[in-house]
Structure 1
Amino acid sequence: MAADDDIVALSAIELSRAIRARAVSCVAVMEAYLDRIERLNPVVNAIVALRDRADLLREAGARDAELARGEVRGPLHGFPQAVKDLAPVKGLPFTQGSPIFRDRIAESDAILVERMRRAGAILIGKTNTPEFGLGSQTFNPVYGTTRNAYDPARTSGGSSGGAAVSVALRMQPVADGSDHAGSLRNPPAFNNLFGLRPAYGRIPQAGPDVFTPSLAVEGAIGRSPADIGFLLSVLAGPDPRVPYGIEADPSVFAEPLERDCSGLRAAWLGDLGGHLPFEPGVLELGQSALAGFEAAGVRVEADRPAFDMEALWQDWLVLRAWFTAAALKPLYENPRTRALLKPEAVWEAERGLKLDADRVAAAQAGRSAWYESLRRFMERYDVLLLPAAQVFPFAAGTPWPKTVGGRPMDTYHRWMEVVIPITMSGLPALSVPAGFNEAGLPTGIQIVGRNHAELACLQLGAAYDAATRWVERRPPPLLDA
């Protein structure tokens, strides 16, 4: 296997096997991916803070020497991996997309980075993200805008926009990401990929307050559910530093995902009874994609839980502002750093700092009521299905859509409301491709499982992928440019 294109075309699972069998060297793998990055990254700006090529090739050579001695670090041995710039990687820039931290170098690794290193990955750089991950559009004043893999004039989505585009264009085999408000669902939908938002605690996250479960989780983006499961098997598992970690063996995610899905029941939530507006064509593509589940033997019914969705949105706004303000308070209260915050960050901080304990508690109670409503609803269904986005990828220079389907958007994230009910539920969700509009722009739908049922989501996603093959059928045109 000599051609660069042959190497980067391998799935993550295939690449791991080829490296461990010494069918391809770690140096050849690194060269292939760096060549692809050199050719395509200037067009899309997905990978930032890229390390020196010579240093990376030296590390790859050291991995080959280990293999020659019969030493294999783990499943990611020799893998080039770029980490989302919301997570620290020791020795690399850690800007979070903010000019405040333009020159900051991380002094330690996040837990998921520790696990990547231990599994043999070579950390090549970071993937781009919006400032502090705020907004589903990847642009910031430090690194600029990340562009869509299918149309560089369009947005990549966010906040895991750099991660999604780097995987779609084969600039890394598989990627980590994080998701509060759709950041592992919207970018895969915008770039014809798969993205998993796991349950809270599946991938442990250390921080200053490990006793307050966050709305944000770490997850993965890949070209197949199997590749996501492969990375999840490395990143998941308990850690003594995180009291709410899920105590379960993560190796199950690396096992084959084949499953007979005949007889499974799925509820198609659609636009939540007219609550959500959509750009023309998005909802229709989602509905047409249901045939892929039916081909796998799934019985799909249009249904939705009875709940006040506007009240749920308002509760999320409170919790979003509360969590965000806690993180941004020192920067907001300092006039020098406040002047460097983007308007959306200032808006979140000001709202969050005005909240009292009663309002936060009421929002948490509303979230709990939603979980219980959904739990009861899912006694009749194995999974839920709903769109992963309300619009197609829009112009890269547009910060966020001001209207959707003729309806004004009253916040910078209202246009992504379709992901919020799942965020508020804490249930796992797998974003899967749903097809393309006439302009060649992709969209996706969410497979939502019961609590802690990530494996079931991946298994159904694999059956759907076998029936549709969107990633194989419609690769990004840039790959042939």
Structure 2
Amino acid sequence: MHELIRQTACSVVEKLRNGEVSPLELLDALEQRIGQVDGKLNALPILCFDRARTHARTLMERPTGARGLLAGLPVPIKDLIDVAGTRNTQGSPIFRNKIAETSDILVERIEQNGGVVYARSNTPEFGAGANTVNELFGATLNPWNPARSAAGSSGGAAVAIAAGMAWVAHGSDMGGSLRNPASFCGVVGLRPSLGRVARTPKSKIDRNLGIHGPMARNVEDVALLLDAMSGEHPADPLSLPAPAESFLTTTRTAKRPRRVAYSADLGITPVDPQIVEITRGAAARFVELGVIVEEAHPDLREAQECFHVLRAFDFAISKAALLRSHRDLLKPDVVWNIEEGLKLSIEQLERAEEQRVAMVVRVLKFFEKYDLLLTPATIVEPFPVANSHVMECDGRQFENYVDWVAIAFAITLVCCPAMSLPCGFTSSGLPVGLQMVAPPRADGQLLAGAKLLEDSLGLLGSTPIDLGLAT
């Protein structure tokens, strides 16, 4: 069991295809591992192993070569989207006992591609929060140091991967919800391009701040899951066709970029000096690979104002009905987000959309010169889990729980694919992620460059699986 847990998703899928291991054996290994570890970390509060084994047995009736891209690989789904027959609480007391009747089209696609859903990963209520804590299940703890936060909102997914309770995992990202937990937990989290992963529309057909994406312990495994997630769907008008070449194939080329830019702060946020030192050093590894590295960033000066308006608008559209019917059951952060949205004027929305368009234009111009943009994925090391969010950094106080993730949400606004790649450790032994950004729809270019840098950094296998906590 332990040796299976340590292996990469790609190697496990190869074993599934060769008949060396069965989906049922993988589920047995995960159930044992979760029993050993998750009582200490609280990453996967909802388990559905009976459903998973039923699906696995059905899958095993097919020849091994006809079981899809994932071939029976188990996948946990974040507790924000529907999985038929399981609880979908969204981390909220309002939906404490909700059982989904149908699955989100993203879940259907993963299962059609041979994924087996066995658990729901923890999330703050409605994904609102950069710390994975909710009233139903409590806090998810960082496996590198359980006194520290796993970040959010895909904290449960990141912890499950880091602690050996998953090979890959589904997550979602609006203001860094894939990238922040990946950075804090020392795993890889990818926010793909807009439309790359189809999802069931809710509240508004063209909601586009929030994106679903893959997480794993390495870049190739992220590419594997992205292949299983990708493709257009008629129910999602924003969705894109899958590329002619698989993302995993493109990733394995490890194609070298010509010129990359590094920015410590994108010109919009404070960053802890230790984080700057580690991420700048990781970016400099590209120089050894024959890549030109320059300090530069696009002009994103409107990002703070723009994101606050568009985020609030999204919450008002999607959650105002819950504020009217269940205000007493909503946490203060969610109430604040919705009320900020309800106060918006048409003029504010007009200004925010104009700002976003202007930033995208400038970013596209920036990428005419650079192939990739590199920044810190988070501005601090994992903070105490008892804190709701980062209160200050490098002498600057933050007014709310959103402001400290500006280095991530600025990239959200300009529609670029972005990844957090493990790039080192702080003096206290906590992981640090490097945010890697490519032009819109250049997901393959991003993955190939990340694979090249991952190989150079030599951090593969640096996980807390073998720590005393996780044995």
TM class by smaller structure: over 0.9
User: What is the Cα deviation at residue 206 of structure 1?
Assistant: 2.1
**Sequence identity of aligned pairs in percent?**
35
Q: Residue 129 in 1 paired to residue 135 in 2?
A: no
User: Which of the numbers 321, 327, 335 marks the counterpart of 1:346?
Assistant: 335
In 2 relative to 1, CA 478–427 (structure 1 residues): closer, same or farther, beyond 3 Å?
A: farther
Deviations 1:298-319 (A, max 9, x none): 2110012245x2x321111000
String of CA shifts for 1:241-286, please: whole Å, max 9, x gaps: 111211343751132523364461111121234x311234111111
| 1:226–1:256 CA contact under 8 A, matched in 2 | no
Paired letter, 2:289: A
Structure 2 residue runs of 5 or longer lacking an equivalent are none
Which position in structure 2 is the counterpart of 1:231? 225
Instruction: Please report the TM-score for the alignment, with normalisation by the length of structure 1.
Output: 0.93
Of 387, 394, 405 in structure 2, the residue corresponding to residue 416 of structure 1 is 405
Contact 2:422 2:433 in 1 (8 A): yes
8 Å contact kept, 2:224–2:247: yes
SS at match of 2:375: strand
**Distance change (3 Å), C-alpha of 1:313 and 1:243:** same
2-structure distance, mates of 1:10, 1:272? 36
Pick from 446, 451, 457: which aligns with 1:457? 446
Partner residue of 2:90 out of 86, 96, 100: 96
- What is residue 268 of structure 1 aligned with on the other side? 262
Shift of 1:390: 0.8
The equivalent of 2:281 in structure 1 is: 288
1:11 aligns with 2:47: no
* CA deviation map 1:62-116 (0-9, x unaligned): 544x25x567321223222210001110111111000111111111111110012
Q: Give 5+ residue unaligned stretches, structure 1.
A: none
SS for the counterpart of 1:206 is: coil
- 1:46 aligns with 43
Name 1:23's counterpart in structure 2: 20
Give me the whole-angstrom Cα distance separating, in 2, the residues matched to 1:381 and 1:305. Answer: 10
- Partners of 2:9 and 2:103 in 1: CA distance: 23
What is the one-letter code of the residue matched to 1:333?
R
- Does structure 1 residue 364 correspond to structure 2 residue 353? yes
Where do 1:60-459 residues align within 5 Å?
60-64=56-60, 66-67=61-62, 72-208=66-202, 211-249=205-243, 252-255=246-249, 257-259=251-253, 261-262=255-256, 264-273=258-267, 275-307=268-300, 309=301, 311-334=302-325, 337-459=326-448
Coordinate RMSD, CA, aligned: 1.8
| Cα offsets for 1:416-437 (capped at 9, x unmatched) | 1111210110111111012111
Q: Give the structure-2-normalised TM-score.
A: 0.95
Query: CA 1:70–1:180 in structure 2 vs 1: closer, same or farther (change >3 Å)?
Result: closer
Q: Distance in 1 between matches of 2:299 and 2:245?
A: 37
Secondary structure of 1:419's partner? helix
Measure the CA separation in 1 of the matches of 2:244 and 2:13: 17
- More moved, 257-266 vs 8-17: 257-266
Query: Does the aligned pair in 2 maintain the 1:232–1:250 contact within 8 Å?
Result: no
C-alpha contact (below 8 Å) 1:263/1:297 kept by paired residues: no
| Contact 1:238–1:246 under 8 Å retained in 2 | yes
Aligned equivalents of 1:250, 1:172: Cα separation in 2 = 28
Task: Please state how far the C-alpha of 1:56 moved relative to its aligned partner.
Answer: 4.4
Is the contact made by 2:91 and 2:123 (CA closer than 8 Å) also made in structure 1? yes
- Equivalent pairs counted in the alignment come to 470
Q: 1:259 to 1:121 in 2, by over 3 A?
A: closer
Residue identity matched to 2:132: T
Cα-to-partner distance string for 1:179-219 (whole Å, 9 max, x where unaligned): 00001111110011111101110001222455424211111
